[in-house]
Amino acid sequence: MKELEERIRKEGTVKPGNVLKVDAFLNHQCDVALFDQMGQAWAEHFAGKQIDKILTIEASGIGIACCAARHFNNVPVVFAKKAQSINLDGDQYSTSIYSFTKQREFPVIVAKKFLNPGERVLIIDDFLANGKALRGLLDICQHAEVEVVGIGIAIEKGFQGGGDDLRAEGYDVDSLAIVESMDPESGTIVFR
Amino acid sequence: MKELEERIRKEGTVKPGNVLKVDAFLNHQCDVALFDQMGQAWAEHFAGKQIDKILTIEASGIGIACCAARHFNNVPVVFAKKAQSINLDGDQYSTSIYSFTKQREFPVIVAKKFLNPGERVLIIDDFLANGKALRGLLDICQHAEVEVVGIGIAIEKGFQGGGDDLRAEGYDVDSLAIVESMDPESGTIVFR
């Protein structure tokens, strides 16, 4: 998506350690007009597919998913919550996600009542790198016996391989900007 | 706001310890059509006031603020982040908020570059009870030297007094539903 690539080029910052900072418009300050365009782009890509629910993960996915939902007949948005600990009371699906940024595993939960067997789910998130967070959401979807219709991602770091692995497994991953390479010294970003 | 009160009555659950669970439509599963109506209601209340930015706090405030921003000319939404620790590198405003749910203080930060002196800010959040979270956001606003034009809240627990204290101090607090009392045994909820 041209608008997103332009914003990344203009306002994104490449930091050492494969970090792309886009907090000016995506995940600290949010440009909701851009989010709306992103939702429209996903709606075009997934047109004709029945989607009952959007699933995302806190915190950065929530704004994007809520703006996107307008373009999917206002379906409910469910966000997975980062929990203090895995609660085994039986009311929640839980999984564990390794965070590269935080260098540790953290538990993530979704209340069972918000994912019903057979529902058709679109997963939306801001970033896809190695795919650890998405694997956690897919794990929850599998336990919930919902069907993952597709995965909408704002920025994929293509060189980290998580997206291509998911595509090879048959998932319909629609990333609006795929960074093929980036250089912290020159600040250069090359898109796929 | 009638629609919100109806949803609280229909889908909210009163739990012991002054807890009102509204995770079916507000803070775990999100009804974006309702969020849109809420944004419209705030836009009517704050009509005629110049608003440059919306400030909220992760996680539950984000979806509501992003949907509301459409009704405020798509102004940027900035969400305060819950941090692992207070980082004193000088690039961030930070404060500490006591969480009743988690029974502990946690640090909250906003990057300085996203709040500029003199900007006119609308604060939006899902809940207002004793006002601890809002006090943290107001503290950040004071440090940033921005002007708080108003505070838009989805559900205020009126009996906990935080909203009335803020009103007495001159803040324009627009809560779309104010719970005057609620009873965990009967499940009864009385609105102001």
* Separation between Cα atoms, residue A6 and residue B180, nearest integer Å: 49
Q: What is the pLDDT at residue B85? A: 64
Which residues of A are known binding-site members for xanthine?
20, 27, 157
For chain A, say whether B177 makes contact (Cβ under 8 Å). no
**Number of other residues whose CB lies within 10 A of the CB of residue B9:** 13
For chain A, say whether B11 makes contact (Cβ under 8 Å). no
- Interface size between A and B, measured as CB pairs under 8 A: 98
CATH class of B2-191: alpha beta
Average pLDDT of the segment spanning A14-33: 95
- Are the Cβ atoms of B66 and A70 closer than 8 angstroms? no
Q: Which residues of A touch B66 (CB under 8 A)?
A: 30, 32, 35, 62-63, 66-67
Nearest chain B CA: its distance from A156 CA (Å) = 22
**Residue A16 burial by CB count (10 A; 0-12/13-18/19+): exposed, middle or buried?**
exposed
Which residues of A are known binding-site members for 5-phospho-alpha-D-ribose 1-diphosphate?
129-133
Main-chain dihedrals φ then ψ at residue A156, nearest 5 degrees? -105, 130
- Are the Cβ atoms of A70 and B36 closer than 8 angstroms? yes
Average pLDDT of the segment spanning A179-192: 96
Alpha-carbon distance values, A118 to A51, A53, A55, B32, B51 (Å): 11, 11, 14, 22, 44
* CB-based contacts of A2, cutoff 8 Å, min separation 6: none
Q: Is the pLDDT of residue A17 over 70?
A: yes
Alpha carbon B130 to chain centroid distance? 12
Element (H, E) at A68: helix A60-69
Q: What is the pLDDT at residue B143? A: 97
Q: What is the pLDDT at residue A98? A: 87
pLDDT digit string, tens, across residues B6-21: 999 999 999 998 899 9
Is-contact A75 A54, C-beta < 8 A? yes
pLDDT digit string, tens, across residues B102-116: 788 889 999 999 999
**Prediction ipTM score:** 0.96
- Are the Cβ atoms of A63 and B77 closer than 8 angstroms? yes
**Number of other residues whose CB lies within 10 A of the CB of residue A28:** 22
- Binned at pLDDT 50, 70 and 90, residue A87 comes out as low
* Separation between Cα atoms, residue B155 and residue B137, nearest integer Å: 17
Question: Is B55 marked within a binding site?
Answer: no
* Separation between Cα atoms, residue B106 and residue B88, nearest integer Å: 15
Q: Is the pLDDT of residue A171 over 80?
A: yes
Buried b / exposed e along B43-81 (16+ C-beta atoms within 10 A) = beebeeeebbbbbbbbbbbbbbbbbbbbbbeebbbbbbb
Q: Is the pLDDT of residue A141 over 90?
A: yes
Fold annotation for A2-80+117-191: Rossmann fold (3.40.50)
Q: What is the pLDDT at residue A88? A: 56
Name the residue ranges covered by the structural domains of chain B.
Answer: 2-191
- Are the Cβ atoms of A66 and B63 closer than 8 angstroms? yes
Buried b / exposed e along B129-154 (16+ C-beta atoms within 10 A) = bbbebbbbbbbbbeebebebbbbbbb
- Are the Cβ atoms of B31 and A63 closer than 8 angstroms? no
Percentage of chain A beyond pLDDT 70 is 96
- Binned at pLDDT 50, 70 and 90, residue A100 comes out as confident
Is-contact B123 B56, C-beta < 8 A? yes
- Are the Cβ atoms of B70 and A32 closer than 8 angstroms? yes
| SS3 (DSSP) at B87 | coil
Q: Which of residues 87-116 of B touch A (CB under 8 A)?
A: 102, 110-111, 113-114
Which residues in chain B land under pLDDT 50? none
Is-contact B94 B121, C-beta < 8 A? no
Which residue among B35, B79, B81 places its CB closest to the CB of A66? B35
- Binned at pLDDT 50, 70 and 90, residue A85 comes out as low
Q: What is the pLDDT at residue A89? A: 61
